[in-house]
Amino acid sequence: MTTPDRMHQYDARTVDLVFDYMRERLQYNPVPLDHPGDGEHLRGVLEGLLNERGNDPADVLKLYDHELSRAVISADSPRYLSFIPCAPTKTALLFDMVVSCASLQGISWLEAAGAIAAENQVLRLIADRAGLPETAGGCFVSGGSAGNLSALVVARDTARHRRGLDGRARLRVAVSDQTHSSVTNTLNIIGVEKFVVPTTDHRLTGEALRAAIEADGDPGSIIAVVGTAGTTNAGIVDDLAGIAQVAHDYDLWFHVDGAYGGAGLFAPSVRAKYDGIEHADSFVVDPHKWLFAPFDCAALIYRQPALARAVHTQDASYLDVLHIGSDEWNPTDYAYHLTRRARGLPLWFSLAVHGTQAYTDAIEAGLTLARDTAALIRDEYEDLELIREPELSSVVFRRKGWAQKDYYDWSQRLLAEQIGFVTPTGWEGEVVARFAFLHPGTTMAMVREILDTMR
Ligand SMILES: *Cc1c(COP(=O)(O)O)cnc(C)c1O
């Protein structure tokens, strides 16, 4: 067959090959951690693969399975306790494949009303948990970074408009010394300065924010504040209620970065820490982190979506048809993107199938792992020292007497032996150990096995 549409024909053999592989991958229990890659080896196995004639799909899939996938550390392994893991529900993973097969263009109501209605149902559920008003709404973007960028552009332009500032006026956004690096990136991109407010025990408070603004020589240039609902390193939730009050008093846009910790809104044992989030002007949570969705999925929600629309709507004559008579929802109007995958659908499907209680249970499991691990470190491991009581699902601790190299060697050894993927972190200038719990299949036996290697 040499017709130009030969690649678009249904080929039962390739379908069976890929489906069989997916079935096998979904059944791994537990998912193996796998290993870091060696560049020279990988380049060698890939050599000549992209040629004019193509290859047998069985051979290519085998190369992926045996070589490439083994050189990818599985973020969904229950032993993956670094950074922030990604442990999608099986149902969400399955539906991600449906989204891929359906080739949905998630830009506009015109093209994808059915998909967008379902995505918006999920955004509504999250907005309700945050206590945001009925009018709140937004869209799904690729990650917390894309969400922070899209939201803070709206903050900037809204402030310029309301305060009658031109493009050259100095603008600053209040952040803490714990704010995520993606916010620093955002501010560089959008030409806004950082106004760094010192934290008390790594937590930004309304009191500190107010004091910093009052002591500043140019308070009028401060247009927004970013509160973090769960710092990535230690899981600390800022004083959102206090920050909201100061934001109100100084007419600041209040953005809440809950990329990691926002999922705690679904966990009764920690919900009170988020009080004040209902005052946010914009809010980001990454379902690809603690809401068990596959990469890449972040929910971005605005209190007043019309403000975002005014900033992000793209005017191109070929797009005009999207906006005619539309009070319908075009996700493209709420972030800097245009084309987008309907990446909220896997979460929607999983939520619809399992119900919210299953999510609450799985999130609480991560919180329990963190609390139990803290207790274990305190009670049973003399050489270990808890740095801080865990607030969410991350635990930061030190091994007495260890220097930086000890932590790095230990981390590499753990991975080589497939016991765990646990990378060290920094804490007040010191290298320390950190667990980021999230996978509800992680067990305390696994935790003990890892801690025992530090004796
Ligand atoms: C992970 C994280 C981000 C960045 O999100 P991405 O999805 O990686 O782009 C931003 N803020 C916080 C607090 C995070 O934990």
Mutate to test the pocket of ligand 1, among 232, 297, 391 (most ligand atoms within 8 A of CB): 232
Predicted pLDDT at 327 = 65
Query: 277 with 256: CB under 8 angstroms?
Result: yes
Mutate to test the pocket of ligand 1, among 149, 182, 256 (most ligand atoms within 8 A of CB): 182
What residues are in contact with ligand 1 under a 6 Å CB criterion?
84, 143-145, 180, 182, 228, 232, 257, 259-260, 286, 298
Predicted pLDDT at 339 = 96
How far is the C-alpha of 373 from the C-alpha of 393, rounded, in Å? 10
Instruction: Kindly give the confidence (pLDDT) of every residue in the chain, 455 residues in length, as a single tens digit, with 9 standing for 90 and above.
Output: 689 999 999 999 999 999 999 999 999 999 999 999 999 999 999 999 999 999 999 999 999 999 999 999 999 999 999 999 999 999 999 999 999 999 999 999 999 999 999 999 999 999 999 999 999 999 999 999 999 999 999 999 999 999 999 999 999 999 999 999 999 999 999 999 999 999 999 999 999 999 999 999 999 999 999 999 999 999 999 999 999 999 999 999 999 999 999 999 999 999 999 999 999 999 999 999 999 999 999 999 999 999 999 999 988 777 777 776 656 899 999 999 999 999 999 999 999 999 999 999 999 999 999 999 999 999 999 999 999 999 999 999 999 999 999 999 999 999 999 999 999 999 999 999 999 999 999 999 999 999 999 99
Predicted pLDDT at 318 = 79
What single letter denotes the amino acid at residue 96?
A: D
Predicted pLDDT at 325 = 60
How far is the C-alpha of 71 from the C-alpha of 65, rounded, in Å? 10
Name the residue with the closest Cα to ligand 1, atom 2.
Answer: 259
CA of 182 to the centre of ligand 1 (A): 7
Residue 231: left if φ>0, alpha if ψ -120 to 50, beta else—which one? beta
For residue 227, the SS3 value is strand
Q: Using the 8-state DSSP alphabet, how is residue 80 labeled?
A: B
Query: 227 with 388: CB under 8 angstroms?
Result: no
Predicted pLDDT at 65 = 97
How far is the C-alpha of 439 from the C-alpha of 85, rounded, in Å? 7
Predicted pLDDT at 315 = 82
Give the atom of ligand 1 at the shortest distance from the alpha carbon of 145: 9
How far is the C-alpha of 49 from the C-alpha of 33, rounded, in Å? 27
Backbone φ and ψ of 353, nearest 5°: -75, -45
CA neighbor of 401 nearest in space, from 434, 448, 446, 433? 433
Predicted pLDDT at 2 = 85
H or E, element range at 414: helix 404-416
CA of 394 to the centre of ligand 1 (A): 15
CA of 166 to the centre of ligand 1 (A): 31
Look up the pTM and report it.
0.97
Query: 423 with 269: CB under 8 angstroms?
Result: no
Query: 415 with 33: CB under 8 angstroms?
Result: yes
- The dihedral over CA atoms of 22, 27, 31, 37, expressed in degrees to the nearest 10, equals -30
